Chain A
Amino acid sequence: NAGVTQTPKFRVLKTGQSMTLLCAQDMNHEYMYWYRQDPGMGLRLIHYSVGEGTTAKGEVPDGYNVSRLKKQNFLLGLESAAPSQTSVYFCASTPGGPVETQYFGPGTRLLVL
């Protein structure tokens, strides 16, 4: 079991460029989440999904889009990157709802110049 994996590990973008972050889990979990982690601010929920084909907004969704076409994958897109999106992005999954343990990926470090 690989658990939760994230691709890429590190990326540098110029302002206005687009990119997609991939999250994959092999635990057959229903729920998946995208967070960003910034110094002094902890983790903030960007978007989440409660099952294949569903997505919902979290605390800080602006500037991001997501898709969950397959149960095991959850994609996070930045259509036009901004320096304010420089952060470390973590994906997580849970078997079911919010009382369950979240399993986190190793993170993607994104730098937007």
Chain B
Amino acid sequence: GDSVTQMEGPVTLSEEAFLTINCTYTATGYPSLFWYVQYPGEGLQLLLKATKADDKGSNKGFEATYRKETTSFHLEKGSVQVSDSAVYFCALSKFTSGTYKYIFGTGTRLKVLA
């Protein structure tokens, strides 16, 4: 079945370090891909999305490219800040056989140290 796999956390980085959080997916058809961020005690917020192959989503210095050939949507940021500390979720969505599917990864916790 469809699934999303994220790297295990926590990921601990120093401020201004380069960030990569890996995400791969398994899905039939043409899903849309998302990265959401969850700050402590809050709900999820959309960080970026891509709806077709080779699309690049970007927001607040974060980027991810929809790679159909490697079924990946890795999240990157060139220089992280302490305020980026949060849990990041990769997700896919699709409509198939009359049903909507949203599938989230298990989340990756990022800690950025000053």
Contacts and interface: CB of A to CB of B under 8 A. Distances in A.
A97 interface: yes
B95 A98 contact: yes
Contacts, number: 59
B93 A98 contact: yes
Contacts of B105: 42
> Which one of A4, A33, A42, A44 has the greatest number of beta carbons of chain B within 10 Å?
A42
Contact of A43 (B49, B100, B104): B104
Interface residues of B, number: 26
B42 interface: yes
Nearest to B46: A101
Interface string B81-108: 0000000010101110001111111110
Interface of B: 4, 32, 34, 36, 41-46, 49, 51, 89, 91, 93-95, 99-107
